[in-house]
Structure 1
């Protein structure tokens, strides 16, 4: 294999092999036959033809944020070097290589008063997020990240390079807008950008004793929030620190408008800190300050059908420990509109994200038990966003049986030999 591609190849026993195969989540063991860091799309075509002729599978990950460990015997393809960014500001469009991070897109778009649809982390790949549908800070205004994708450049299961859109291959285009990388290898995507001449936001933080009052303010704000306003609530308990509660905010508009909408926050007790201010669209990562280096973690996501008095009482009844964070994201807005994607419209008004650190087996079990306990007592809908799935879950936790049947038919049509193995396969 080293002789058939121009990019780097690591085989078992090679120096650096274990580091090369490591996923972002260090709690996941990722056994692979080899690791290939492609130099370009031609490398990927060559690799696909080799894998198909040898009866091997390819799992594609820029960095491995969505890794599940379902890689035994597969070739792990890294697409980090596919990092080209091309913008057409007048048309508000971008073409991004598969390895381009959200932060890089935001940096390129900001100088034109434009934005992509970034999530909470600047280091995830835009392509990876779009392939999973994608929840964004600006999703209430513009819907799923995948809704802004206009085309994908792919390598198919024959090793051929082509561009897929709603006009050229509507079934494959639909599947790629939210059901992962089980159907083709995406080498770049074509993305609609959005105007963002003004942005206000930041984090306001209190001690946990004020959580009931902060929750009341949160419910007031989200009950009438316009689509341009997104507020997330976080219960936090960092190792060695006292429990805290935070409101994380972004508003696509002027500061004075945002402050009018956030008046309930001004009536709360004085916070420990408040860094809300006018921001560039390049400054979203620091709001939640998620780690930008790999680490171990256990996560569970849920969609909530309501956030009523009973749900508030349940969440605040006990400390969140041993969880590190419990995050409540306000959805609604454009998420509720029709979407030509596997998940379709997102009618649940809130998403819940539960995260803990598996520092040892006993703590890992305690974290998982606490996550299950909270999920069982809150008004969950029974389905999850694809990008919120964890390694214990499958695509059946994200999609309906009707959608799964269509996805499996598309898989059979486009990859009957199972050359591609996604983190969450549809079969």
Structure 2
């Protein structure tokens, strides 16, 4: 049997090699990843070769561009890095884009923006388009256009036998359904084709106040989201950065002109003077600047929930105590197109808000305190018990994201398409 080094053109790291420990580390430094080897695929042919090698060697394949959603469930696997699969092609007439598995959201946005178009980006410009789409994907523009996966029209996939195939709703409806929201359990996606959306105008940014105004800001946020049009998305943030006083923010984007956006956001103008107001006319390529999330690897602990309401009782609970030791408590307004039918494992997202809790595990005691605070808040707020797949944390499983019928169907498809269990995603359905 040939070695893995002889099977691929890309770089290979084995235990003991210089750089192996660096190569196997995920973006989230709080997660430890034990792996048998790391391969940075040079192209789709390398991906196919890795899958064939792993199958013959009795190993698994765990695929990551960089590891934002890593869980450490990688023992006995080859860690496949897909960062070099970086093609971006935009067809402005058809309003379609083809992106490789390693393309970050910001690159697609830059390519689409020059044509007055947009993909469905999230808050971070460095997370891969493919990774987000495989998990369903919550976007700034999801209220207008639904899940990120709803915009996917075709996928280039390497199957469990190491064979490349192009998957569409017509060619293989079951596999197409599973790939658009249930992660990497059914193949390695080397590229996908997705619909782009018109975005000739965009207004948005972050308004920031001292934490003492949190109650008034939350009241205004609830007023805005009570009847917001689908083109408007707002997120409420309680923030407590190390060494700073607590703050509160509202992040917003509006697919339309500034005048109408300001009318819709008028309740924020009646609040006390903000510390800063970053709202402006923007390009869709500049969305990452709104929340300014870290772009360098870091350690983090997160928990997410879907909220069934944000009534007076929930608002009181949210503000009842300081968020420390958490860094941020975020509430995202959903609704709109998320509630419409979706032929994906998640299906429609009927809960009106998503809650995202984040903290830094600077030491074991702090890590325990962060998890305890997350659990206490999540338990106290009115959650549905379901959560978005891309927001799962290493303590959770696919069963926390999918309804029982969808999970049963996914498990049947896993047995059909990967009976040997070659693919080992972050959150396996089995």
Shared fold by TM > 0.5?
yes
1:167 pairs, out of 167, 170, 173, with 170
The match for 1:66 is 69
TM-score by length of 2: 0.99
Is 1:192 the equivalent of 2:195?
A: yes
The match for 1:307 is 310
Is 1:128 the equivalent of 2:131?
A: yes
Is 1:29 the equivalent of 2:32?
A: yes
The match for 2:335 is 332
The whole-number CA distance in structure 1 between the counterparts of 2:191 and 2:204 is: 30
The whole-number CA distance in structure 2 between the counterparts of 1:252 and 1:241 is: 33
TM-aligned CA deviation for residue 16 of structure 1: 0.6
The match for 2:355 is 352
The whole-number CA distance in structure 2 between the counterparts of 1:20 and 1:365 is: 28
The match for 2:322 is 319
TM-aligned CA deviation for residue 83 of structure 1: 0.3
The whole-number CA distance in structure 2 between the counterparts of 1:262 and 1:46 is: 53
2:344 pairs, out of 341, 345, 350, with 341
The whole-number CA distance in structure 2 between the counterparts of 1:47 and 1:267 is: 58
The match for 1:416 is 419
Q: Deviations over 1:337-373 (max 9, x none)?
A: 0001000000000000000000000000000000000
**1:23-422 mapped onto 2 (5 Å cutoff):** 23-422=26-425
The whole-number CA distance in structure 2 between the counterparts of 1:51 and 1:213 is: 56
Equivalent residue of 2:6, what SS? coil
The whole-number CA distance in structure 1 between the counterparts of 2:164 and 2:27 is: 28
The whole-number CA distance in structure 2 between the counterparts of 1:63 and 1:182 is: 18
TM-aligned CA deviation for residue 220 of structure 1: 0.5
Aligned residues: 427
The whole-number CA distance in structure 2 between the counterparts of 1:251 and 1:401 is: 36
Equivalent residue of 1:242, what SS? coil
Equivalent residue of 1:382, what SS? coil
Equivalent residue of 2:54, what SS? helix
The whole-number CA distance in structure 1 between the counterparts of 2:69 and 2:320 is: 32
Equivalent residue of 2:358, what SS? strand
The whole-number CA distance in structure 2 between the counterparts of 1:55 and 1:234 is: 46
Structure 1: 5+ residue runs without aligned partners? none
Displacement over 6 Å in runs of 4+: none
The match for 1:9 is 12
Q: Deviations over 1:22-73 (max 9, x none)?
A: 1010000000000000011111111111111111100000010110000011
Equivalent residue of 1:70, what SS? coil
